Amino acid sequence: MYKTYVRLERVTGSVVAVKTNDAANRELALITWPGGSSLAQVVRLEADRAYLQVFAGVRGLPTDARVRFLGRPMQVPGSDALLGRIFDGAGRPRDGGPSLDEEMIDLAGPSVNPAKRIIPRTMVRTGIPMIDVFNSLVESQKLPIFSVPGEPYLELLARLALQAEVDRIVLGGMGLKHDDFLYFRDTLDGAGALTRTVGFIHTAADPTVECLLVPDMALAVAERFALRNERVLVLLSDMTNYADAMKEVAITMEQIPSNRGYPGDLYTQLASRYERAVDFDDAGSITILAVTTMPGDDVTHPVPDNTGYITEGQLYLRGGRIEPFGSLSRLKQLVNGDTRDDHRAIMNTMIQLYAAYRETLEKRAMGFRMSEWDGQLLRYGEGFEARLMDLDVDLPLEAALDAGWRLLADCFERTQTGLPSALVERHWPEPA
Amino acid sequence: MANVGRIVSISGSLITAAFEQPVVQNEVAYARLHDLRLKSELIRVRGRYADLQVFEDTAGLYVGARVEFTGELLSVELGPGLLGQVVDGLQNPLPALAEASGYFLPRGKYLEPLDREQRWSFTPGVREGDTVFAGDALGTVPESEFEHRIMVPFGLAGAWTVRSVVAAGSYTVEEVVATLEGAKGQSVEVSMLQRWPVKVPIRAYRERLRPSEPLVTKVRIVDTLCPVARGGGACIPGPFGAGKTVLQQLMSRHAEVDVVIVAACGERAGEVVETLREFPELTDPRTGRSLMERTVIVCNTSSMPVAAREASVYTAVTLAEYYRQMGLQVLLLADSTSRWAQALREVSGRLEEIPGEEAFPAYLESVVAAFYERGGTVRLRDGSEGSVTVIGTVSPAGGNLEEPVTQATLKVVGAFLGLSRERSDARRYPAIDPLESWSHYGGVVDAADVSFAQRLLRDGNEVAQMMKVVGEEGTALEDVVRYLQAEFLDASYLQQDAFDAVDGASGAERQALVFGDLVRVLRPPLAFDDKDAARRFYQYLTQVTKDWNRAPWQTPEFEAGREQVRTLVREAGGDV
C-alpha cells in the first residue's frame, strides 16, 4: 500500500508541489479531490519536495487534495485488444469501451541500438501517386507534412490510414478540433479500417499536459507492434500543437526560452520522438508521417525548421495538393530502382515537364505569345494536376505510371519528352 | 574508502548530490538506482553540493539515492583494436551491446571498449636502459595496415628509464609489456592499454606546425576553390536538405588520410546505419582493405541521452589525437556541432546560468574554439609528423548564418564551406556556394588560376542577376558569353556526380590538370556570331567535359576526352 499525502505546497501553471520523501523521478501519482481526479507525473525532486505535473490541469484543485504515488512511470497497454480502440491523451477510453490494463509498457523507453537497425529497403505503398511515384515512402522513414492551416491535411491522413499497405496504423491526434476527431473516426469506421487502427486523440478542449503524452503513447504502442514483426504506420497531427504545448509547459515551469519562446531542447524533444521510426534487422518497422502546420507559411519557424533537420525529407501540402517542388523523400532512391524499369525516368521527366508548365503559366500571365510547345505544356500541366496530383486520385503505383504514360502520349510526340528511347519503345501507349 | 554522496535534487538529467569528502571538478560519479549504476559527470560544486549531469535517463532516481564518486575524469580507453569500432559517446561498443542486450540501449550498462581476450603481436622497439618520454613508442603491434605504436603513457612527466621490456610475442591489451623507472626511482608498469581524460588535449609532441599540406578530399569544389589543410579546421554550415551529411559521407570515403573518425552527434540514426552497413563492404582504393578498417564511428544520435552528446565529440577528438601520436593523418568529421552546442544549452539551462544569445551559454565560443584547436599538425619527438583535421557541420536555425554557433565556429576555422539552398534546389551538387565560401589554406591547383575562376564566377553571377531584370535581349553579347562561361565552369567542374565512381572522386593530380586545361579554355576571348551560337557552343562543351570527367584517370579514354575538349575549342577559334 502506498502512502498518501494531503497537502499541496504550491500550485503554479500545471505543476503542484508536495512534501514527500519517497517519490522517484518521473513516477506517476494519482491526485484525487472531491470534485475529480487526475494522474500526475513527478518532473522534479528537490530535497523533501516533489513537483508534479498534473495531466488534467489544476483548475478547481484544492490544496488538501490527496496525492498517492503509484510506484511506476506512465504506462500504456500494449495488447492486441487495443485495435479498433480510441483513447484520450491520458490513456482513458474515448469510445465508451472498457479500459485496458494488459501488457502495460512504459512510455519513452530506451532508444534503439543503431547496430540493430538496417538500411531500409521496403516501400510503403499508399495509392497516392504524388507519394508512390514521385516521393516514395520507405519503411522506417519519418516524413513531416508541412502545411498551412486550412489545407486538407486531415483528409490526406485519413486516406493514408485507409490505403497504406501496412499491418497496423497508430494515430496520434494533438490539439484536434472535436469535429476533426469525429470525421476521422467516422471515415475509418465507415471503411472498416478501424480494426487495424489504434487512436490516441487529444482534442483542443482537453488539458494541455495530456497533449504532451500523445506521441509517446502512440510510439510506445507502435514499438510493441513492430517488435511483434508488424509493419506499423504512425500518423501524427499536429506536431506544431505539440510543440506549442511544450512551450506552454516550459514557460510555466520558468525554463529559459531560446527561440520565439520555444524551449532550448525543442530539437531533442522532437528528435527523440521521430527517431523512434525504425526498421529492425529481424523484426517489423515503424514509419512516421506527421503533420506540421507552418504558422504564416514560414518554413523557418522553429517547429518546421527543427523538424526538417530531423526528418528524412518532407511533403508540402499547398493548394489542396502535394506540391511536387520542395517535397522530397530522401530515402526514395533506396526503393524506386526496383519497382518498375520506368519508375525513375517517369518521376524525373514528368516533374521537369511540370516545371516547364509552371514557367509557361508565368509567361502567359505576363502576356507573352504562346508557342505550339507552350500549348502542349499547358494541356500537360492541367492533365497532370487532374489525373495525378489531385488528392482524390487513388491508383496503385503501376497504374499511376501507366496513367503518366497515357498523359504524356495525349500531350506530346514520342520524341519530345526526353525519355530514354528504350523505355519509350516499351511503354508508350497506342493512341486512344 | 569509497567517496559516497546522497542525491538531494533531480531536474531532468541534472542531479545534485550532497558530499562529505573532497570531490574533483569533472570527475565521474555513478548514481545508484538499485542494481543500476548511472554514469554522470560532476560539472559544478557549490558548498557541499555537487551538480552532476547524468549520461542516462534519470527516471526512477530518488532523493537520498547513493552517488559514488570515482575521483577519475571522464576517460576513454586507448590501445590497439579501436579501428573499425562503432561506439556510443561514452565509448560503449554498440555491436557488443546489441549482442548483450538486444534491440534497445539499456541504461547503466557499460562494456569494455577494447577486447580483453584478443592477442596482439607485439614487437619491442626499445631496450632495457633506454630513456623515454611520454608518447615515445615502446614497440608496435600491427593493426589494420598500420604499425600501431604502443606508447609511453601520455600522462607521465619527465624522463623515464626502461627497466624491462617483454620479448616479441603475442599479448593481450592488459598484459604488462614494459616497466619504466622515473627520476625518483618510482616504477610504472605499462600495458598496451592506456586511459586518457577526453577533455584534456594530448600534448606529447615536440611542436605544433602550421598546416601547409592540402588534405585532398577529392571533392573538386573543395580542393580547388576552398581547400582544407591537413591539421586545419573547416566548417560546413547549411540549411536542412542542402547535403551536409552527404558531403561528409563523401569525404569519409574518399579523403586521402590514414584514419577517419566519424562523430555522429545528435543526428539521424539512419545515416549512421548507412555508414555502419556500407563501409565494411567498400574497399579503400589506397590499401585494398575495407573502409571500415580505417574508420571509427562515435555516435550519439538524436534519440540517445543528451548529456552524452557533449561527451561524444570529446571522445571522438581524443581518439583522433591518439592516432595522430603515431604519425598518422587523421580526419575528424563532426556532424553536427550545432547539436552539441544545443546540448550545452540544455545543461546550461538546467544549471540556471545566465543565458547569452539565443539562450546559448556565454562560454559557447570558448568551448567551440577549444574543440577546433585540438586539431592541428604536430611534429612528434621522433621527428615524424601527424595531424588531426577537424571538419564540422553546423545546422543553423532557419538557415540563418548569423546565429551564435555558426559565428563562434567561423572565428576559429580556416575554411568555410557554406552550403546554399538555391544550389541544392537547382540540384547543383555539391551545393557549396562558390561565391560565399572561402579558405585560408593553399590548394592543389595554381593560385592564379583560382583567382581567375573566382572572378569569372562572380562576373557570371552579376550578369545572371542583370539578365533577370533586363532579359537576355537587353544584355550585351560579351556579358552573355561571360555568363555562359561561368555556367560552364560550374556545370563541368564544380558540380560532381557523387554516384559516378569516377566523377565522384577526383584526385589531386587530375584536378590540377583538368582545372588548368579549363582555365586555358576560358581565358582567351572567343568570338561568336550571336548569343545562340555561344549558348550552343558552351552547352556542347559542357556535355563533352562531363563525359571527360567520367573517363578514368590515366587511361586512353581520358586522353581522348581531353583531346576532344581541346579540338572543340580550337574549332571555335581558341588557342589551346
Q: Same domain for A254 and A146?
A: yes
Could you tell me if residue A280 is left (phi over 0), alpha (psi between -120 and 50 degrees) or otherwise beta? beta
Alpha helices (H) in B331-446, listed in sequence order: 337-350, 364-372, 404-410, 421-425
What was the pLDDT predicted at A5?
83
Q: Which of A27, A114, A268 sits opposite B299 (nearest CB)?
A: A114
Q: Same domain for A42 and A176?
A: no
Q: Same domain for A171 and A203?
A: yes
CATH number at residue A162: 3.40.50.12240
B92 touching A, CB under 8 A? no
Residue in A325, A315, A287, A91 with CA at minimum distance from that of residue B270: A287
C-alpha B510: how far from chain center: 25
Q: What value does the mean pLDDT take over residues B310-330?
A: 96
B236-248, pLDDT tens digit by residue?
999 888 888 889 9
Number of other residues whose CB lies within 10 A of the CB of residue B283: 11
To the nearest whole angstrom, how far is the Cα of A199 from the nearest Cα of chain B? 24
Q: Same domain for A199 and A286?
A: yes
- The CATH architecture that domain B3-74 belongs to is Beta Barrel (2.40)
Q: What value does the mean pLDDT take over residues B26-39?
A: 95
- Please classify residue B41 by burial: count the beta carbons closer than 10 Å to its beta carbon, then call 0-12 exposed, 13-18 middle and 19+ buried: buried
Task: Give the C-alpha separation, B280 to B298, whole Å.
Answer: 16
What was the pLDDT predicted at A432?
65
Residue in A168, A166, A125 with CA at minimum distance from that of residue A336: A125
What was the pLDDT predicted at A118?
92
What was the pLDDT predicted at B367?
96
B280 touching A, CB under 8 A? no
Cell of A139: 519503411
Task: Give the C-alpha separation, A203 to A176, whole Å.
Answer: 4
Asked if residue A219 has pLDDT above 90, the reply is yes
Residue in A281, A287, A278 with CA at minimum distance from that of residue A165: A287
Task: Give the C-alpha separation, A156 to A50, whole Å.
Answer: 43
B427-464, pLDDT tens digit by residue?
788 999 999 999 999 999 999 999 999 999 999 999 99
A230-244, pLDDT tens digit by residue?
999 999 999 999 999
Q: What are phi and psi of A340, to 5 degrees?
A: -145, 150
Structure confidence at residue B77 as a pLDDT band (50, 70, 90): very high
Q: What are phi and psi of A282, to 5 degrees?
A: -140, 35
Cell of A285: 518497422
Q: Which of B104, B277, B342 sits opposite A113 (nearest CB)?
A: B104
A295 touching B, CB under 8 A? no
Q: Around A166, how many Cα atoms within 13 Å sit in the side-chain half-sphere?
A: 32
Q: Which of B7, B60, B304 sits opposite A111 (nearest CB)?
A: B304
Residue in B231, B438, B212 with CA at minimum distance from that of residue B332: B231
Structure confidence at residue B1 as a pLDDT band (50, 70, 90): low
B357-388, pLDDT tens digit by residue?
888 999 999 999 999 999 999 999 999 999 99
B560 touching A, CB under 8 A? no
Task: Give the C-alpha separation, B84 to B291, whole Å.
Answer: 9
Tell me how many degrees the CA angle B213-B215-B218 measures, rounded to the nearest 5. 140
Asked if residue B313 has pLDDT above 90, the reply is yes
Cell of A225: 507492434
Boundary residue ending a domain (A273, A308, A334): A334
In DSSP notation, B506-549 reads --HHHHHHHHHHHHHHHSS----SSHHHHHHHHHHHHHHHHHHH
Give me the residues paired with residue B6 across strands.
B18, B66
Asked if residue B524 has pLDDT above 90, the reply is no
Q: What mean pLDDT, rounded, does chain B reach?
A: 93
Dihedral angle over CA of A35, A36, A37, A43, nearest 10: -60
Q: Same domain for A212 and A259?
A: yes
What was the pLDDT predicted at B359?
87
Residue A432 lies in a domain: no
Q: Same domain for A39 and A100?
A: no
What was the pLDDT predicted at B245?
83
Q: Which of B10, B64, B107 sits opposite A110 (nearest CB)?
A: B107
CB A280, CB B103: distance < 8 Å: yes
Cis link prior to A14 (omega < 30° from 0)?
A: no
CB A85, CB A59: distance < 8 Å: no
A101-120, pLDDT tens digit by residue?
888 999 888 999 999 999 99
Task: Give the C-alpha separation, A92 to B374, whole Å.
Answer: 54
Q: Are residues A73 and B11, on separate chains, in Cβ contact within 8 Å? A: no
Task: Give the C-alpha separation, B318 to B196, whole Å.
Answer: 8
Residue A203 lies in a domain: yes
- Closest residue in chain A to residue B394, using alpha carbons only: A309
A312 touching B, CB under 8 A? yes
If one counts the domains in chain A, the total is 3
A-B contacts (CB, under 8 Å): 166
Residue in B497, B466, B485, B470 with CA at minimum distance from that of residue B537: B485
What was the pLDDT predicted at B358?
87
Residue A117 is given by DSSP the state B
- Please classify residue A358 by burial: count the beta carbons closer than 10 Å to its beta carbon, then call 0-12 exposed, 13-18 middle and 19+ buried: middle
Q: Same domain for A104 and A86?
A: yes
CB A42, CB A27: distance < 8 Å: yes
Give me the residues paired with residue B124 across strands.
B139
Task: Give the C-alpha separation, B527 to B427, whole Å.
Answer: 31
Q: Which residues contact A97 (CB under 8 A, 6 or more apart)?
A: A85
Task: Give the C-alpha separation, A275 to A109, whole Å.
Answer: 12
To the nearest whole angstrom, how far is the Cα of B239 from the nearest Cα of chain A? 8
CATH 2.40.50.100 assigned to domain B119-196? The reply is yes
Task: Give the C-alpha separation, A65 to A31, whole Å.
Answer: 7
What was the pLDDT predicted at B525?
80
* Beta-strand runs (E) in B27-136: 27-33, 36-46, 49-54, 66-73, 75-78, 86-87, 119-124, 131-132
What was the pLDDT predicted at A143?
96
Choosing among A3, A116, A348, which should be mutated to test the B contact, i.e. which has the most B CBs within 10 A? Answer: A116
Q: Same domain for A201 and A170?
A: yes
Boundary residue ending a domain (A334, A358, A379): A334
Put simply, the chain A residues between 69 and 98 with a CB less than 8 A from any chain B CB are: 73
- In which domain, by residue range, is A401 found? 343-427
Q: What value does the mean pLDDT take over residues B160-173?
A: 97
Q: Around B506, how many Cα atoms within 13 Å sit in the side-chain half-sphere?
A: 29
What was the pLDDT predicted at A354?
93
Strands A328-329 and A278-279: unpaired
Cell of A157: 491522413
Q: Same domain for A134 and A270?
A: yes
- Provide the 3-class DSSP secondary structure of residue A258: strand
Asked if residue A1 has pLDDT above 60, the reply is no
What was the pLDDT predicted at B473?
77
- Please classify residue B572 by burial: count the beta carbons closer than 10 Å to its beta carbon, then call 0-12 exposed, 13-18 middle and 19+ buried: middle
CATH of B206-439, one of 3.30.420.40, 3.90.550.10, 2.40.30.10, 3.40.50.300: 3.40.50.300
Cβ contacts of A114 on chain B, cutoff 8 Å: 86, 94, 269, 272-273, 276, 299, 301
Boundary residue ending a domain (A334, A368, A385): A334
What was the pLDDT predicted at B240?
84
In the block, which residue shows the cell 565556429? Answer: B409
Cell of B28: 565521474
Amino acid (1-letter code) at residue A3:
K
Give me the residues paired with residue B391 across strands.
B234, B333
Task: Give the C-alpha separation, B385 to B206, whole Å.
Answer: 10
In the block, which residue shows the cell 571522438? Answer: B316
A279-305, pLDDT tens digit by residue?
998 899 999 999 999 998 988 899 999
Tell me how many degrees the CA angle B265-B269-B275 measures, rounded to the nearest 5. 90
Put simply, the chain A residues between 120 and 139 with a CB less than 8 A from any chain B CB are: 120
Largest CA distance in chain A: 85
Q: What mean pLDDT, rounded, does chain A reach?
A: 92
Q: Are residues B105 and A256, on separate chains, in Cβ contact within 8 Å? A: no
The crossing angle, in degrees rounded to 10, of helices A239-252 and A266-274 is 140
Strands A36-46 and A28-33: antiparallel
What was the pLDDT predicted at A419?
85
* Beta-strand runs (E) in B60-215: 66-73, 75-78, 86-87, 119-124, 131-132, 137-143, 146-151, 160-165, 169-172, 176-181, 187-191, 194-197, 207-209, 214-215
Q: Around B491, how many Cα atoms within 13 Å sit in the side-chain half-sphere?
A: 18
Q: Which of B106, B358, B398 sits opposite A110 (nearest CB)?
A: B106
Number of other residues whose CB lies within 10 A of the CB of residue B362: 12
- Provide the 3-class DSSP secondary structure of residue B29: strand
Largest CA distance in chain B: 92
Q: Which of A25, A115, A312 sits opposite B86 (nearest CB)?
A: A115
Cβ contacts of B9 on chain A, cutoff 8 Å: 44-47
Q: Which CATH class is domain B447-571?
A: mainly alpha
A129-155, pLDDT tens digit by residue?
999 999 999 999 999 999 998 899 999
B270-305, pLDDT tens digit by residue?
888 888 888 888 888 788 899 999 999 999 988 888
C-alpha A281: how far from chain center: 23
Cell of B65: 539515492
Amino acid (1-letter code) at residue A294:
M
Per-domain residue ranges of chain B: 3-74, 119-196, 206-439, 447-571
Q: Same domain for A18 and A59?
A: yes
Q: Around B426, how many Cα atoms within 13 Å sit in the side-chain half-sphere?
A: 13
Residue A39 lies in a domain: yes
Task: Give the C-alpha separation, A354 to A324, whole Å.
Answer: 9
Cell of B187: 616504477
Task: Give the C-alpha separation, B87 to A114, whole Å.
Answer: 10
Q: Is the dihedral of CA B69, B75, B78, B84 positive or negative?
A: positive
- Provide the 3-class DSSP secondary structure of residue B230: coil
Give me the residues paired with residue A32 across strands.
A37, A66
- Given strand B160-165, what is the order of strands in its sheet? B131-132, B160-165, B176-181, B187-191
Residue A275 lies in a domain: yes
Asked if residue B411 has pLDDT above 80, the reply is yes
In the block, which residue shows the cell 504562346? Answer: A370
Q: Same domain for A245 and A376?
A: no
Q: Same domain for A253 and A119?
A: yes
Residue A126 lies in a domain: yes
A45 touching B, CB under 8 A? yes
Q: Is the dihedral of CA B435, B440, B444, B447 positive or negative?
A: positive
